[in-house]
């Protein structure tokens, strides 16, 4: 299946957000200004010491997350080698595309990002603070349906990717829009005529709190069209 068949209408948005590093509170984006939004699907960041988990295999199994409480979002020390920062998608019905951006203090350097979904088609490189990525897979043959739904076999807390980042002190890993499109969200597995991109509303960031730390408010108010990512997938 051509990648263009997976990429659908990515709507214009205007987002505003505020959070504190490691706070249990989520960020809620203004759903009245973002076109089609999804009030169910959620994104969270999960921290693991680098190399302990990965995309699968005997020595690097994916993190197994059974509940929201099992997501590690605050670290009080920095392990040698830094962290693997996993994206966790939950409260979804079906998935065939995930898109997001990520930022962190520039002093922490670059990231190495891996997509853990077999046969996914990635667009973008999440390597520097403020960069983003989108990746899609065959919605008909490889739809991700959670195991607590009829016919599903994918973990309800689905881990599609992670970034290796080495912090040098206190700070935040912050989910953000993919700068190529100005948004982040998912596509479901409905038949092609009904399948659509929806922007995720609820997100949960992560933080490094070696010393007491409260990060500054994060805001994002740039309006961007969806045409860029559609063109990238052609």
pLDDT tens digit sequence for 80-92: 999 999 999 999 9
For the cut 60, the answer to whether the pLDDT of residue 102 exceeds it is yes
* Rounded Cα gap, residues 79 and 181, in angstroms: 34
- Tokens matching residue 143: 């739809």
Average pLDDT of the residues of the chain: 81
Q: How far is CA 196 from CA 39, 114, 121, in A?
A: 15, 25, 17
% of the chain residues with pLDDT over 70: 75
**According to the model, what pLDDT value does residue 32 have?**
45
**According to the model, what pLDDT value does residue 4 have?**
34
pLDDT category, 22, cuts 50, 70, 90? very low
**According to the model, what pLDDT value does residue 25 have?**
44
For the cut 80, the answer to whether the pLDDT of residue 205 exceeds it is yes
**According to the model, what pLDDT value does residue 216 have?**
57
Top-confidence residue, 46 or 19: 46
Does domain 3-215 bear CATH number 2.50.20.10?
no
β-pairing, 27-28 with 197-204? antiparallel
**According to the model, what pLDDT value does residue 27 have?**
62
pLDDT category, 24, cuts 50, 70, 90? very low
Chain centre to alpha carbon of residue 192: 23
SS3 label, residue 232: helix
Q: Are 215 and 30 in contact (CB under 8 A)?
A: no
DSSP 106: G
End-to-end CA distance of the chain: 12
For the cut 80, the answer to whether the pLDDT of residue 106 exceeds it is yes
What is the pLDDT averaged over residues 152-177? 96
User: 3-12, 30-39, 97-106: which range is least confident on average?
Assistant: 3-12
% of the chain residues with pLDDT over 90: 63
Q: Are 84 and 167 in contact (CB under 8 A)?
A: no
* Rounded Cα gap, residues 49 and 226, in angstroms: 35
Where along the chain do its domains lie?
3-215
């Amino acid at each position: 299946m051509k990648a263009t068949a997976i990429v659908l209408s990515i709507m214009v948005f205007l987002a505003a957000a505020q959070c504190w590093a490691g706070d249990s509170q989520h960020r809620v984006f203004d759903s009245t200004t973002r076109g089609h939004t999804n009030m169910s699907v959620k994104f969270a960041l999960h921290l693991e010491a680098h190399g302990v988990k990965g995309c699968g295999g005997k020595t690097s199994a994916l993190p197994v997350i059974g509940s929201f409480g099992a997501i590690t979002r605050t670290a009080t020390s920095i392990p040698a080698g830094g962290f693997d920062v996993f994206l966790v998608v939950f409260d979804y019905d079906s998935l065939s595309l995930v898109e997001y951006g990520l930022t962190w203090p520039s002093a922490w350097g670059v990231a190495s990002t891996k997509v853990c979904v077999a046969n996914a088609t990635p667009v973008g490189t999440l390597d520097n603070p403020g960069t983003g990525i989108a990746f899609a897979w065959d919605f008909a043959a490889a739809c991700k349906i959670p195991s607590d739904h009829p016919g599903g076999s994918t973990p309800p807390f689905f881990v599609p990717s992670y970034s290796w980042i080495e912090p040098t002190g206190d700070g935040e890993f912050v989910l953000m829009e993919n700068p190529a499109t100005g948004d982040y969200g998912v596509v479901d597995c409905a038949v092609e005529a009904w399948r659509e991109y929806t922007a995720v509303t609820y997100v949960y960031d992560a933080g490094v709190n070696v010393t007491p730390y409260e990060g500054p408010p994060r805001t994002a108010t740039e309006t961007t069209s969806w045409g860029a990512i559609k063109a990238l997938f052609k």
